[in-house]
Structure 1
């Protein structure tokens, strides 16, 4: 099985599109605040991407051009990582970082806090605490797609490793025969 760069890039691209869509919806909502369609889009994308953009705006002074530059640079880096032929570590890194980033977005959009009563735990020191995560269908879909993307990375890598080991075995047998 040979790896397909487009499939390797699909999940990081989805995360970047969610971030870009959230940013575009915020910008358009500021321009056209009376549009019900924009409000609907913004409300759907807000839980997945707004906590991230709030932090970016806090540290980078809220420039839409800078946000676009960040997304463009991240897209280029992810695409180049998924197309590299030298090492599988780059496409592993792109997909796994995208999955971790998606999980962080889901956790931060859920307002995960230790004061909820959903899942209670006791620390080794005896201090009780609890954690809540919001697994809506959108969050579950994003995390499921991320897990599938990571599984595809593993399958592609193992397929390439198997092909390399077969080629090496054939070369070793030919070398033994020649000696």
Structure 2
């Protein structure tokens, strides 16, 4: 008697939850599938229209998203990118990625919109959400801002991440147009 074992592999896009400089493959194969319906607090939720991604890294561990988890991401329209509320975890396109074989996405916690580059004003506006000193915050944001091309220095989002290598919380700025979507669910 001959028996066949069918193994179902699915390829998912990888989203970095860690340093953007650490290489990750664009996609990874997973065993099985991600369902189009999940239960959340006993209620069935249709997630068939959400994009499915695989997390690489633990920079979102404070927001209950861990390395190896599968996430459902709702892609945001251009108008929705300018009306984010309730501080979700967002998926950003990695802008100007020099390595074409590297993952195209990263996870960051939304803090708020930045309307001017007055560092002390930004710190004051979000001080109840910022978990580091003003001096460190300004240093981090200035460094990230200086790396942005001139054309991407307006309509910015302030985000938070956790640097696993140095065991510290970090903040950075991203163009609103680099937002890809919002994490809806993590399994």
Which one has a larger percent strand, Structure 1 or Structure 2?
2
TM-score, length of structure 1 as denominator length: 0.22
Which one has a larger percent helix, Structure 1 or Structure 2?
1
TM-score, length of structure 2 as denominator length: 0.22
